[in-house]
Every structure is written in C-alpha cells, then in structure tokens.
C-alpha cells in the first residue's frame, strides 16, 4: 500500500461499474472531500479531441495505449485527488501497482443482475446489435474482474442506492481510513 505517503497526500482511485454515473460520482466526491478530480478516460478524450472509441477506430489500439500511458503518467503525479480509472486501464501493464503506491483503490460494484440491467438501459437500442453488445459485455467483464485483484477495496452498492448516498458512503470509508492511518 502507500505507507510512505502521508494520508493527506494520498489519492482515492475509483473504479468499477455501477452505471454511467461513476465519473459524476467521482467529481461530487472530490468536491465533498475538498480534493481535485481527474478522469483517465476523459483525459485521453480531451488530449485527442475525440472519444476513445473514435481514437481506436481512426488510429488503432496502439495510439490509444500511447495516449493512455501519457495520461496515466500525469495522473500518477497527482496528490490529494479523486482519480477515476476504468478496470481496463488498471488491468493494463503495472498501472494498478503504480496507482496503489499513490493511494487507495475503491472498486464500486453492484450485483450482476443490476449491472446487466444498467448496461441494457444505458445502451438502449444498441443492446440489440450483437456486435455492440459483445463489446459492451467485454468492457463490463474487465470492470467486474478488477474487483478481486490484490489491494482493491471492493465496495458493494445496493442497486437502489441514490447517488448522494453512494457519495456519502464512500466519503465515510475514506474518512475512516484517515482516522486509522494516524
């Protein structure tokens, strides 16, 4: 873990799949905890001036990985930040170990039925396209798989839990860690 960094300098790294709101939850959590916010995928999209799926389609996986490496390097330099990183990103190379050196990784999850339902609702009509659904399920699989890796703190969220309650719950866990680290 991050024993050499004082708790006041550690990052809270969010990952997992509870629906499309995780980046919003990250921003609101950062505001509540008076920390900065940084989203890896948003950073990649901002740097390239296009969405990740467009980068992949237009320039290929190698260009996407190159941008991701640059953005992850920048994120690792941050302190006192809430950082949203997808399970796909954390599963790449040694990124998870490197993020664990800078803070705590919280993986927010809901049960599988709720995840599949949210995926269906989020995709809308695209869910019925076998190719699009297969891509979305592969992404979901990487998000789901990260939760059992060493160093990850899995936080199970009730499917009906309002966003404000999720934020309060995660903030409370973060504050509990601050007390324990003293």
Residue 1 falls within a domain, yes or no? no
pTM reported for the whole predicted model: 0.89
Higher pLDDT, 112 or 152: 152
Q: How confident is the model at residue 27 (pLDDT cuts 50, 70, 90)?
A: very high
Tell me if 68 is assigned to some domain.
yes
Q: Helices 163-180 and 22-33 sit at what angle, rounded to 10 degrees?
A: 50
> Count of domains in the chain?
1
105-127 confidence digits (pLDDT tens): 999 998 888 888 888 888 889 98
- Whether 4 is in a domain gets the answer no
83-98: pLDDT as tens digits: 999 998 999 889 999 9
What domain range includes position 84?
10-180
Indicate whether 143 belongs to any domain: yes
Where residue 68 sits, what CATH number does that domain have?
Answer: 3.40.50.300
Rounded to an integer, the average pLDDT of 29-38 is 98
Give the model's pLDDT for residue 3.
54
DSSP one-letter code for 103 = E
At 100, is the pLDDT very low, low, confident or very high (cuts 50, 70, 90)?
Answer: very high
């Amino acid at each position: 873990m991050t024993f050499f960094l004082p708790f006041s300098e550690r990052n809270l790294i969010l990952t997992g799949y509870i629906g499309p709101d995780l980046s919003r939850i990250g921003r609101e959590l950062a505001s509540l905890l008076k920390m900065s916010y940084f989203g890896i995928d948003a950073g990649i999209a901002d740097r390239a001036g296009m969405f990740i799926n467009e980068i992949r389609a237009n320039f290929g996986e190698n260009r996407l990985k190159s941008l991701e490496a640059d953005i992850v390097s920048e994120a690792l330099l941050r302190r006192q930040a809430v950082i949203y990183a997808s399970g796909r990103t954390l599963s790449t190379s040694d990124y998870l170990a490197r993020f664990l050196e800078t803070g705590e990784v919280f993986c927010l999850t809901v049960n599988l039925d709720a995840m599949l339902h949210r995926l269906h609702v989020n995709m809308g009509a695209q869910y019925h396209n076998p190719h699009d659904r297969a891509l979305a399920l592969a992404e979901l699989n990487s998000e789901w798989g990260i939760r059992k890796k060493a160093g990850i703190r899995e936080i199970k969220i009730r499917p009906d839990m309002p966003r404000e309650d999720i934020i309060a719950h995660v903030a409370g866990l973060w504050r509990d860690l601050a007390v324990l680290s003293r």
